[in-house]
Amino acid sequence: MTLEKQGAGGEGPSPSRDLRRYAALFASRTRVMTSSVMRDLMAITEHPEVISLAGGLPDTASFPGEEMARVMGQVARENSARALQYGPTDGLASTREAIAQVMAWQGASVEPGDVLVTTGGQQAIDLVCKALIDPGDVIVAEGPTYPGAVPTFTAYQADVVQVGMDDDGMKVDELAETLERLEREGRRPKFIYTVPTFQNPAGVTMSLERRRRLVEIANERELIVLEDEPYSLLRYEGTALPTLLELDGGRFVVHAGTFSKMLAPGLRLGWAIAPRPVMEKLVLGAQSTTLCPSPFTQLFVSGYMASGQWPAYIEELRGIYRTRRDAMLAALEAHFPPSATWTRPQGGLFVWATLPDFIDTTDLLALALSANVAFVPGRAAFVNGDGASSMRLNFSASEPETIDEGVRRIGALVAEQVDLFGAITGSFPAVAGEEPGEMAEVVELPRRDQEQRRQG
Amino acid sequence: MSDGLSVAVLKGGRSLERQVSLASGERVEHSLARIGHRPAGIDVGADLVERLAGLKPDLVFIALHGRDGEDGSLQELLETLDLPYTGSEPAACARAWDKQVTKDLLDEAGIGTPRALSFSETALREFGGAQALARVDEKLGFPVVVKPCRQGSALGVRFASGPDELPEALLSAFSYCERALIEEFVPGRELAVPVFGGEALPVVEARPTEDTFYDFDARYTIGSAELSCPADLDEATTARVRETAERTVELLGLRSFARVDMLLDERDGEPKVLEADAVPGLTDTSLLPQSIEAAGIGFDEFVGRVVDAALATA
């Protein structure tokens, strides 16, 4: 590419060129791989004075350092050659056994040989897309869905269709209708993505009845269900429900798990369990990206499992997080206006709160940052701009007093916005007594409306 | 260059453009080092004055965008500390930072700008200003563009196609500034004209790609808007657009480098100035650096000249 030399005064016309550097080199998929307003706003949450209810960070501070040193020391002394060498693509046998044990804690019986160790649960999502998605293929997801899955789906140029949720998780009747409609339109979805337990970001759990129905639908239509299950061991009340993997018997369910929340995200270790033919493709996909998951952290995980201390640690985390969840629910009750609604998770890390629909939580985040508090705006969990008046609040990473203060600050800003909206409309809006419950209608990824184009 | 200057590069801060500013600052630091100076990057916070006192720089390079670097208060502080700095003086920054002030000056000088009304939170909260919103249709006609009066990026900018969309758009704008501007919608091409040393550089045109709109995301992300430079305009239009940018910069009293954003009104073919940016982005994907490159000026040469200009006016 040549640059036309042109003085500031202009010595005549020169051919116009595309200013985006390297534009001619980028693959077409990068057109949908863009940064977001949220990411730029989130940069401000790095400041220590900001109370961040935004991240999905587990409380790694509670992990006993001595225990970590002991296991690491043992790995170094007894296994350094293996820890520092390449390993098998599907993972070390001892780690796969540890994963089978974790699955057993969740009530699912899995052979270690059927486990693929991945670099975090995120890689499992990526590998499933890599194996199944051609550009334009449909992925059906919950609305709201895990914000971190959206960039993965769009990077594979998937057409994401979201299905509404309520307190019992994904509305499977609506899912069935959506699948019917897609079929009529000649669009065949490749997989249904769900976080059935303590969903990120909604915090709700799919009921047993819906789990059964979802598995039935998948079997009837021969569709894959990607069950993303990072939080299920972090249950603070209620009875554990069977995984979709167990209900399905491993025919159409791909199960993704991770050590991030029950141990530490810094390990970057997760796993996938899939029907054999799918698993073969996942393994090939993993081979071409990472060669193998880190043997070093795998040995740490199997060593920690062997110590027998893990169940006690998870129990400790449950205690810490239960207190924090209760603090957040109490703070919402105390500081949010009556017109706001929020979910009451039985576990996991998040509460999903919805404000009166005239409040845009992306704009509210800008205000919140000036009050030194942060959350994730709801739009991050939708592909089409929906969720504008909702927010995800994390309770696992802050002390109860901090949670209370953070929620108090957000509540005060919301009250001001409600008041200001009343002044703008010339009447105070009837904000009490709205119907709670609905989180989203069926939404799709359309082109952004031309009218939304902005000037300036 | 002999032993070079000690240059404090101010970046980051708490504004909503923190991320962009960090990238601008880093790029400037690398460039300063290449041309023989001794740059020291400072992520601006409560200890800024203390850090400057410790560093005793010969010059301060302001790569802070948004409120922190562009409303004039930082420049005032540096004046008090007797530290020479790059870019414009406090009063000029303050004029450019406030879109209503800019607009009033443009109107007086006979430079085209979209017609607008401004509303403050106070007028609405305390004077029953809501009733006056009914006059927006009569005075401007819908659609309108609602934006915060003072905000560097496109955050809080909303389109209202009718009166019913106005309240939410205003609420959005008020999240960034206590005064909102309601501007007539001007159909036309979006142009950005960097001005360097009083002279307009090649005109950049931003065209939203099919499925994006040109907002905060597009402005700083490779691949969201199609940018071309020099914009494909006829000679007479190019001349008019450049002259408009130069007059705007002169009118506001901006010096060294700045960027003027405007629309080329398709109804009368005339440029309509939207705003002037006293500290435009200096990242790899920012408009100004790409325009200076199109003008045949390297980034290092640009930085060197900005430094020289700052020392000459100190």
Torsion angles phi and psi, residue A14, rounded to 5 = -135, 155
Q: Is the pLDDT of residue A302 over 70?
A: yes
The torsion angles phi and psi of B58, rounded to 5 degrees, stand at -75, -25
Q: What pLDDT sits at residue A342?
A: 98
CATH number of B116-184: 3.30.1490.20
Helix intervals (H) in A138-256: 149-155, 172-184, 208-221, 244-248
Task: Locate A375 and state its tokens.
Answer: 């959350």
Name the minimum distance, in Å, from the CA of A21 to any CA of chain B: 7
How far apart, in Å, are the Cα atoms of B182 and each of A114, A237, A256?
Answer: 61, 51, 49
Residue A372, min C-alpha distance to chain B (Å):
10
> What confidence score (pLDDT) does residue B2 get?
54
Minimum distance, in Å, between the CA of residue B92 and any CA atom of chain A: 20
Q: Where are the alpha helices (DSSP H) in chain B?
A: 18-34, 48-55, 67-70, 73-80, 90-97, 99-109, 121-126, 136-139, 166-174, 216-220, 235-252, 287-294, 299-313
Domain A33-62+312-426, CATH: 3.90.1150.10
Q: What is the mean pLDDT of residues A79-89?
A: 96
Q: Where does CATH 3.30.470.20 sit in chain B?
A: 95-111+187-313
Phi, psi of A245 (to 5 degrees): -55, -45
Interfacial B residues in 191-230 facing A (CB < 8 Å): 196-197, 199-202, 204-205, 208-218, 220-224, 226-230
Whether the CB of B186 is below 8 Å from some CB of chain A: the reply is yes
Question: What is the model's pLDDT at position A1?
Answer: 27
B95-111+187-313 topology per CATH: D-amino Acid Aminotransferase; Chain A, domain 1 (3.30.470)
Share of chain A above pLDDT 70, in %: 86
CA B219 to CA B213: how far, in whole Å? 10
Taking only the tens place, the pLDDT of each residue in B163-203 is: 999 999 999 999 999 999 999 999 999 999 999 999 999 99
State which CATH number among 3.40.640.10, 3.30.465.10, 3.65.10.10, 2.60.40.10 fits the domain covering A65-307: 3.40.640.10
Q: What pLDDT, on a 0 to 100 scale, did the predictor assign at position A20?
A: 57
Question: Cα(B179)–Cα(B99) distance, rounded to whole angstroms?
Answer: 10
Cβ separation of A40 and B20 shorter than 8 Å? yes
Determine the Cα–Cα distance for residues A392 and B158; give it in Å rounded to an integer. Answer: 23
Mean pLDDT taken over chain A: 88
Q: Do B130 and A14 touch (CB under 8 A)?
A: no
Reported as a single tens digit per residue, the pLDDT across A254-291 is 999 999 999 999 999 999 999 999 999 999 999 999 99
Q: What are the angstrom distances between the C-alpha of B101 and each of A238, A392, B92, B142, B179?
A: 60, 38, 11, 23, 12
Q: Please, what's the largest Cα pairwise distance for chain A?
A: 78
Q: How crowded is the C-beta side of B240, counted as CA atoms within 13 Å?
A: 17
Measured between beta carbons, the chain B residues lying within 8 angstroms of A425 are: 130, 167
Residue B159: the pLDDT is: 87
Q: Indicate if the pLDDT at residue A28 is higher than 90.
A: no
The model's pLDDT over A356-366, given as tens digits with 9 standing for 90+, comes to 999 999 999 99
Determine contact, residues B29/B12, Cβ cutoff 8 Å. no
Q: Give the ipTM.
A: 0.87
Which neighbouring-strand residues pair with A426?
none
pTM of the model: 0.88
Is residue A324 a contact partner of residue A403, using CB atoms and an 8 Å limit? yes
What residues does CATH 3.90.1150.10 cover in chain A?
33-62+312-426
Q: Which of A19, A20, A453 sits opposite B159 (nearest CB)?
A: A453
pLDDT at position A3 over 80: no
Number of Cβ atoms within 10 Å of the Cβ of B57: 23
Query: Does A447 score more than 60 pLDDT?
Result: no
Residue A441, pLDDT > 60, answer no
Closest CB to B172 among A18, A360, A448 = A360
Given an 8 Å threshold on Cβ–Cβ distance, is B16 in contact with A453?
no
Q: Which residues of chain B carry a pLDDT beneath 50?
A: 1, 211-223
Contact assignment for A10 to B212 by CB distance below 8 Å = no
CATH 3.30.1490.20 domain position(s) in chain B: 116-184
In this prediction, residue A399 has a pLDDT band, given cuts at 50, 70 and 90, of very high
Domain B6-87: state its class.
Answer: alpha beta
User: What local confidence, expressed as pLDDT, does residue A61 receive?
Assistant: 86
CATH 3.40.640.10 in chain A, residue ranges: 65-307
Q: Which pair of tokens denotes residue A370?
A: 């000036």
Q: Give yes or no for residue A375 having a pLDDT over 80.
A: yes
Closest residue by Cα to residue A234 from A394, A431, A426:
A394
pLDDT band at A37 (very low <50, low <70, confident <90, very high): low
Phi, psi of A395 (to 5 degrees): -115, -5
- Of the candidates B185, B212, B229, which has its C-beta nearest A16's C-beta? B229
**Per-residue pLDDT tens over the stretch B78-98:** 999 999 999 999 999 999 999
Contact B227 A20 (CB under 8 A): yes
pLDDT(A432) > 60: no
Confidence of residue A347 (pLDDT cuts 50, 70, 90): very high
Nearest C-alpha neighbor of B186 from the set B104, B100, B118, B268: B268
| CB-nearest partner of B217 from A34, A455, A456 | A34
* pLDDT above 80: residue A437: no
Residue A40 has a pLDDT of: 65
Q: Does B143 touch chain A (CB under 8 A)?
A: yes
